[in-house]
Amino acid sequence: MRLIEAATLDAVRRALADGAVVLGGGTRLLADGQSPPVLLDLRRLPGASDLSSGADGSLWVGSAVSLTRLERAVRSTFPAIAEAVRLMGSPVFRNLATVLGRLANREPVSDLYPPMRLAGARVLVIDPAGGPAWHPLSYQGRIYGPHRAWLALVIPPPSFLLMRFVKMARTRLNGAIVNGGVLIADDGVKAVLSGVGPEPWEGDCAGNPQTALANLAARWREYLTVDGPRIEDFRAAPAYREALGRVLWEQLAAAVPAPSKRQAKEA
């Protein structure tokens, strides 16, 4: 196994063109005796270890920043992101795994994706042909796959009223079977659920939180009953999907405070 410790963007582009695989914390990449022939380490690049706030309140997260460091930095500004991190693996795992490694690891279920997507995170991506360029963090984007390195992630300053994260797993610190995030803003509600198909389900709805949430849950139930893309495991079974929908939306609704009597009257 060869390790390239790139200190310039040109060196990153060359290594990616030669098929080097980007190394985060190695918790997935090097698990179970795997050893890719060429690894690309980004830690010597400027900004890789930075976790800092910009003048506009946005948060820069470099490629070497661990989950532990992120959790401490966002406790007061993005409690839902901090909660998602706290529920991931053990403290040792969270010290090793990087924020970008978790997100670049494109699996059907990711505990960090829903709250990061809802927060409007963007990622700085470079490939052998060009960049670095900013892209929205999204499973729909061309940011995943080989020959790409994520250099940083930026979370814009919070501009929502409330964000919540819920996770359903076998035990508290296991990877989720499914999870979901919900964001309440002045003009409506957004939800992102992962582990419900090969890619997360995302929806938004205008209106007051409780009504918008109920509308989203109804749309979600339609998604569950149509013959769309499914994860090829127990999550594909109709009975499971039905039970899943019920419990997940109950948990999301419970995570959102009910409106006060006055608010309900105004709505």
Binding interface with ligand FAD (CB under 6 A):
21-29, 31, 42, 63, 88-89, 93, 96-98, 100-102, 104-105, 110-111, 148-150, 174-175
Nearest-CB residue to ligand FAD? 101
Give the neighbor-by-neighbor strand order of the sheet with 130-136: 51-53, 59-62, 149-155, 122-127, 130-136
3-state secondary structure of 80: helix
3-state secondary structure of 254: helix
Look at residues 149, 81, 88, 85 and name the one whose alpha carbon lies nearest to residue 121. 81
Minimum distance of ligand FAD from residue 241's CB (angstroms) = 21
Minimum distance of ligand FAD from residue 245's CB (angstroms) = 21
Q: Which is closer to ligand FAD, CB of 26 or CB of 207?
A: 26
**Hey, what are 52's tokens?**
């800092």
Residues 6+ apart with CB under 8 A from 177: 109, 168, 169, 170, 195, 235
Residue 93's alpha-carbon distances to 68, 97, 128, 220, 226, in angstroms, are 9, 6, 31, 33, 37
Q: Which is closer to ligand FAD, CB of 194 or CB of 210?
A: 194
Which amino acid, residue 50?
Answer: D
Q: Which is closer to ligand FAD, CB of 102 or CB of 190?
A: 102
Q: Which is closer to ligand FAD, CB of 23 or CB of 80?
A: 23
Q: Which is closer to ligand FAD, CB of 99 or CB of 256?
A: 99
Minimum distance of ligand FAD from residue 183's CB (angstroms) = 19
Minimum distance of ligand FAD from residue 264's CB (angstroms) = 36
